[in-house]
Amino acid sequence: MGRRGDAINLYKIRKADILRGVKMPANMKDKGVRFSVLAQEAIDWYINHERKDVRNFKGRMKFILEAFGDRVADEIKPSDIDSWLGAHDWSAATKNRYKNVFGKTFKIALADGKVTSNPPAWSSSELRTTPASGFCPMTRRPLANTSPTKANGELYYNARIISVVLSK
């Protein structure tokens, strides 16, 4: 046992956490799942689902594990991912590929209930330098140089993005 004053301070901290909505772990000694465990599960998922890019995924994951392998997954913040990506002199496309590896890893872990959030989803989206799929990133309207396609009598500026439909 410790001092009474320490117990009172800890009680106040716990009460403040409850008011903020911070959930206490079931076992205080268990800090959480390490990122290396999530990484191995993501690699196994890629292998089990016979993904064609498993070799690229493993290579990128190996590089990510050098920096994040021993960290607790729930303690990885979006700013940590952004600063790690920013520390490398890579093109925007390469940074997006590494961010996608992070995202897929956390998405698989989130589906299994091993983490509580997906930090890559909240990290900076400034990495993309060209507008995706012919749409202006600010207004989400089709760019002038895109060629429309017809489907079911309606004009689509991109068949993959169905939310933007223009009538004749």
Token pair for residue 65? 């594990």
Whether the pLDDT of residue 64 is over 90: the answer is yes
pTM of the model: 0.59
Those residues whose C-beta lies under 8 Å from the C-beta of residue 5, and which sit 6 or more positions away, are: none
Share of the chain above pLDDT 70, in %: 67
Whether 25 is covered by a domain: the verdict is no
Q: Are residues 56 and 103 in the same domain?
A: yes
Say which CATH number the domain at 113 has. 1.10.150.130
Do 42 and 69 share a domain, yes or no? yes
Distance in angstroms (rounded) separating the CA atoms of residues 131 and 116: 31
Number of domains in the chain: 2
Owner of token pair 């890579």: 90
Q: Is 161 helix (H, G, I), strand (E, B) or coil?
A: coil
- The per-residue pLDDT for 47 is 92
C-beta pairs of 23-28 under 8 Å, 24+ apart in sequence: 23/116
CB 12 within 8 A of CB 31: no
Output the pLDDT for position 10.
Answer: 86
H or E segment and range at residue 106: helix 92-112
Task: Please indicate, yes or no, whether residues 37 and 114 belong to a single structural domain of this protein.
Answer: yes
pLDDT, position 37: 93
Same domain, 50 and 108: yes
What is the mean predicted confidence (pLDDT) over 109-113? 88
Q: Is the pLDDT of residue 128 over 60?
A: no
Query: For residue 165, what are the β-bridge partners?
Result: 156
Q: Which domain holds residue 164?
A: 133-168
Q: Model confidence over 31-42: pLDDT tens digits?
A: 788 999 999 999
